């Protein structure tokens, strides 16, 4: 019975730790603290050296949980990345993820050799273990501080973080194998890298296609669609790892494929993965917190802080500036990307790898990796928002968007039912404008369900449900956001519908079905006026974007703050567009 009691107590303690991690997110949101740091502290307090007194030395379990957590995190990241975003920043992000990781590792290596009396290979291994970045921590902190990054910078950070993990993992594994088995020829290492990347890419793409095809064709019971997708991601990851391919690259690409294809239960899948990744991160960081031995830290603290300083102030900036040299990034953008290289989940995961295989000095790698992650979260984590404001890389994020209700419709996958409360400040209520691809299906007023004809328009306090294409539904948020009215309404504009200067052309294209070149998807409206006008924009300046005319509304310090939208008049359209519009009307 004592064995059963031990199991029951372990279940209770595990559930209490998970609950403490979940509730600690409120602290992180309140004070803008790095959330991962909160999870680590919970684990350390529960550990043998803390008041919890839990003895935990199972490195294999921590490594397995870390692998599953990273697989889900990378899959979820790919699921939420649009192909246009991925394609537009793939070159700079890919360079950062490969060349940037090599440069960072190479610069950290001599510092590790000097501070810890390691060999050059051991120093390079320490550099590789701390070279990967964590975009999730960056975006959480920006969200907590109410800021929104420039689209191109945000996309670069996001894609880099998803693609540098596989390369950092590969580099660490190669160095661990060399230290265990001896030197390998450079050509052999290169061939292994190409093989793992090629197999990982192939299996990831095929796995993503298979997940979507099965999901759409097999009639699973209600509620099992999301678990099926999550387990499909882990199967893809496990298959790759078992045949020595890059499972982390494969699972990220599988998420990218799944997220950009039409599939059923998209809303439920997204919600489930949100919860799954949260729980996976909590379990991962609590376990690594339990695994840490703070008694050993005093002897490693000063040298490890030295590694963190070299990493933050020298290695990462040099890697970023060299990697982004061929691309059009401003100095301020490069400085910000250099500073937001937070260490996170992968840093812990890679630091535990030498410990798992029993490598010489393995405890040093783990302790240094642990301290570097904590220093990065403390120093960079708490200064990201001030750095973004100081470098003018971020703007205040409006919190006015209403909660969106999404319902999948059985029998088809192209459209879903989207619901919003109608508020007094919504652009739709002020101007009656919705995209041509959205159709009002029903209105709920005073607890009565009505058709659009019965409702005879929308009133404040109504709840409206619209049919919209699955991939465009989120674009309706801006039409039902509770926004204050503009200070100087313009009757020529579309119902006083204004957008911020940092809105991307891709977002406008999604709403109005305008064709925008892939290279222009992430260009902001403010940048568009700056490029086309060749001078400081002024209020009233206009630029055409398909069938929409953008009109400058407010300008401050030469920067476009708000832009009004108006539909182009038929007489202003090119003759070819007028002819096509006439033919479409005739065909109806």
CATH number of the domain to which 419 belongs: 3.30.70.1450
Which tops the pLDDT comparison, 530 or 35?
A: 530
pLDDT band at 110 (very low <50, low <70, confident <90, very high): very high
Residues in contact with 336: Cβ distance below 8 Å, sequence separation at least 6, in sequence order: 153, 387, 388, 391, 393
- For 260-290, write each residue's pLDDT tens digit: 888 877 777 888 887 888 777 777 877 887 7
d(CA 344, CA 293): 18
At residue 570, does pLDDT exceed 60? no
Interstrand relation of 548-556 and 559-567 (parallel, antiparallel or unpaired)? antiparallel
d(CA 322, CA 95): 9
Say whether both 504 and 584 belong to one domain: yes
Say whether both 444 and 548 belong to one domain: no
Which tops the pLDDT comparison, 490 or 442?
A: 442
- For 368-404, write each residue's pLDDT tens digit: 888 888 888 888 888 888 888 888 887 665 555 556 7
CA distances in angstroms from 414 to 152, 266, 471, listed in the order given: 29, 11, 9
Q: In the Cβ-directed half-sphere of 580, how many Cα atoms lie within 13 Å? A: 6
Residue range 296-317: average pLDDT? 88
d(CA 342, CA 439): 43
Say whether both 64 and 213 belong to one domain: yes
Say whether both 201 and 336 belong to one domain: yes
Using an 8 Å Cβ cutoff, are 74 and 252 in contact?
yes
Phi and psi based region of residue 191 (left: phi greater than 0; alpha: psi -120 to 50; beta: remaining): alpha
* Sign of the four-CA dihedral 250, 252, 256, 262: positive
Can you list the alpha helix ranges (DSSP code H) found in 80-145? 83-95, 101-116, 120-129, 135-144
SS (H, E, C) 518-558: HHHCCCEHHHHHHHHHCCCCCCCCEEEECCEEEEEEEEECC
Q: Which of 367, 480, 464, 384 is nearest to 430 (CA)?
A: 480
pLDDT of 489 reads: 46
CATH number of the structural domain spanning residue 196: 1.20.1530.20
Which tops the pLDDT comparison, 137 or 583?
A: 137
Kindly report which listed range (88-97, 109-118, 197-206, 471-480) carries the lowest average pLDDT score. 471-480
* Most confident by average pLDDT, 3-12, 291-300, 365-374, 502-511: 365-374
* Most confident by average pLDDT, 8-12, 268-272, 313-317, 439-443: 313-317
Question: Helix, strand, or coil here: 10?
Answer: helix
Using an 8 Å Cβ cutoff, are 349 and 70 in contact?
yes
Kindly report which listed range (2-6, 105-109, 188-192, 567-571) carries the lowest average pLDDT score. 567-571
pLDDT band at 557 (very low <50, low <70, confident <90, very high): confident
pLDDT of 572 reads: 43
Range of the domain at 158: 2-396
Q: In the Cβ-directed half-sphere of 166, how many Cα atoms lie within 13 Å? A: 30
pLDDT band at 582 (very low <50, low <70, confident <90, very high): very low
Percent of the chain with pLDDT over 90: 15
352, 381, 396 - which closes a domain:
396
Percent of the chain with pLDDT over 70: 80
At residue 104, does pLDDT exceed 90? yes
pLDDT of 235 reads: 94
Residues pairing with 551 in the sheet: 542, 564
Question: Helix, strand, or coil here: 54?
Answer: strand
Say whether both 318 and 433 belong to one domain: no
Using an 8 Å Cβ cutoff, are 304 and 367 in contact?
yes
CA end-to-end span of the chain, whole Å?
78
Number of domains in the chain: 3
Using an 8 Å Cβ cutoff, are 288 and 89 in contact?
no
585: exposed, middle or buried (Cβ count in 10 Å: 0-12, 13-18, 19+) = exposed
CA distances in angstroms from 103 to 187, 233, 319, 323, 368, listed in the order given: 20, 31, 5, 9, 19
Residues in contact with 51: Cβ distance below 8 Å, sequence separation at least 6, in sequence order: 45
463, 485, 507 - which closes a domain:
485
d(CA 291, CA 217): 44
pLDDT of 266 reads: 78
Which tops the pLDDT comparison, 9 or 336?
A: 336
Can you list the alpha helix ranges (DSSP code H) found in 130-244? 135-144, 151-181, 186-217, 225-242
Kindly report which listed range (5-9, 100-104, 293-297) carries the lowest average pLDDT score. 5-9
At residue 587, does pLDDT exceed 50? no
Kindly report which listed range (230-234, 277-281, 307-311, 447-451) carries the lowest average pLDDT score. 277-281
At residue 257, does pLDDT exceed 60? yes
pLDDT of 575 reads: 41
CA distances in angstroms from 83 to 80, 87, 155, 159, 556, listed in the order given: 10, 6, 11, 11, 33
State both tokens at 309.
Answer: 């300083």
CB < 8 Å & 24+ apart, contacts of 572-576: 572/544, 573/547
d(CA 439, CA 468): 7
At residue 528, does pLDDT exceed 50? yes
Residue range 6-26: average pLDDT? 67
Say whether both 295 and 440 belong to one domain: no
Say whether both 383 and 436 belong to one domain: no
pLDDT of 388 reads: 85
Say whether both 432 and 508 belong to one domain: no
Q: Within 10 Å of residue 539's Cβ, how many Cβ atoms?
A: 14
461, 485, 509 - which closes a domain:
485
d(CA 209, CA 229): 11
Say whether both 315 and 363 belong to one domain: yes
Say whether both 166 and 232 belong to one domain: yes
pLDDT of 586 reads: 38
CATH number of the structural domain spanning residue 566: 3.30.465.10
At residue 463, does pLDDT exceed 80? yes
Q: Give me Rg for the CA atoms of the chain.
A: 26
d(CA 73, CA 75): 5
CA distances in angstroms from 553 to 155, 215, 488, 560, listed in the order given: 27, 46, 9, 8
Residue range 131-143: average pLDDT? 70
Residue with tokens 């990220």, as numbered in its chain: 252
Say whether both 360 and 422 belong to one domain: no
Residues in contact with 453: Cβ distance below 8 Å, sequence separation at least 6, in sequence order: none
Say whether both 72 and 217 belong to one domain: yes
User: Mean pLDDT score of the chain, rounded to an integer?
Assistant: 78
Question: Helix, strand, or coil here: 411?
Answer: coil
- For 337-375, write each residue's pLDDT tens digit: 999 877 777 777 888 888 888 888 888 888 888 888 888
Tell me if the pTM is above 0.75: no
pLDDT of 17 reads: 64
């Amino acid at each position: 019975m004592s064995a059963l009691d031990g199991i029951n107590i372990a279940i209770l303690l595990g559930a209490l730790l998970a609950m403490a991690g979940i509730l600690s997110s409120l602290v992180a949101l309140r004070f803008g603290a790095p959330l991962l740091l909160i999870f680590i502290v919970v684990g350390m307090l529960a550990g043998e050296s803390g008041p919890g007194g839990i003895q935990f030395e199972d490195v294999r379990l921590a490594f397995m949980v870390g692998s599953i957590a990273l697989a889900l995190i990378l899959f979820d990241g790919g699921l939420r990345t649009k192909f246009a975003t991925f394609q537009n920043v793939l070159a700079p992000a890919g360079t950062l993820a490969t060349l940037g990781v090599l440069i960072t590792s190479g610069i950290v290596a001599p510092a590790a050799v000097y501070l810890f009396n390691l060999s050059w290979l051991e120093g390079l291994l320490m550099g590789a273990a701390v070279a990967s970045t964590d975009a999730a921590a960056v975006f959480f902190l920006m969200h907590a501080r109410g800021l929104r990054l420039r689209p191109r910078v945000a996309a670069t950070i996001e894609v880099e973080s998803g693609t540098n993990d596989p390369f950092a993992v590969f580099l660490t594994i190669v160095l661990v194998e060399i230290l265990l088995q001896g030197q390998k020829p450079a050509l052999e290492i290169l061939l292994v890298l190409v093989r793992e990347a090629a197999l990982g890419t192939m299996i990831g793409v095929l796995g993503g296609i298979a997940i979507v095809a099965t999901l759409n064709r097999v009639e699973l019971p209600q509620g099992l669609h999301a678990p099926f997708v999550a387990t499909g991601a882990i199967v893809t990851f496990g298959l790759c790892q078992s045949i020595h391919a890059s499972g982390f690259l494969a699972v990220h690409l599988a998420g990218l494929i799944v997220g950009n294809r039409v599939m059923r239960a998209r809303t439920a899948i997204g919600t489930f993965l949100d919860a799954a990744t949260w729980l996976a991160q909590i379990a991962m960081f609590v376990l690594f917190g339990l695994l840490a031995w703070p008694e050993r830290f005093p002897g490693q603290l000063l040298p490890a802080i030295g590694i963190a300083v070299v990493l933050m102030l020298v290695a990462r900036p040099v890697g970023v500036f060299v990697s982004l040299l061929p691309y059009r990034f401003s100095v301020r953008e490069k400085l910000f990307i250099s500073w937001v290289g937070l260490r996170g989940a992968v840093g812990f995961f890679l630091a535990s790898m030498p410990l798992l295989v029993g490598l010489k000095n393995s405890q040093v790698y783990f302790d240094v990796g642990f301290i570097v992650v904590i220093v990065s979260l403390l120093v960079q984590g708490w200064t990201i928002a001030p750095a973004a404001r100081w470098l003018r890389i971020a703007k205040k994020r409006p919190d006015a968007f209403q909660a969106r209700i999404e319902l999948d419709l059985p029998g088809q996958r192209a459209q879903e039912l989207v619901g919003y409360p109608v508020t007094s400040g919504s652009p739709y209520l002020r101007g009656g404008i919705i995209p041509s691809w959205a159709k009002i299906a029903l209105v709920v007023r005073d607890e009565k369900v009505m058709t659009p004809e019965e409702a005879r328009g929308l009133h404040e306090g109504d709840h409206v449900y619209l049919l919209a294409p699955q991939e465009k539904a989120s674009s309706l948020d801006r039409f039902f956001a509770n926004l204050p009215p503009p200070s100087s309404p313009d009757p020529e504009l579309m119902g006083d519908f204004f957008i911020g200067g940092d809105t991307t052309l891709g977002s406008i294209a999604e709403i109005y079905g305008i064709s925008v070149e892939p290279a222009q998807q992430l260009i902001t409206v403010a940048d568009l006026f700056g490029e086309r006008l060749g001078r400081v924009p002024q209020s009233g300046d206009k630029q055409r974007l398909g069938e929409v005319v953008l009109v400058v509304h407010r300008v401050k310090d030469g920067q476009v703050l708000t832009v009004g939208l108006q539909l182009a008049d038929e007489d202003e359209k090119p003759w070819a567009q007028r002819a096509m519009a006439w033919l479409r009307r005739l065909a109806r």
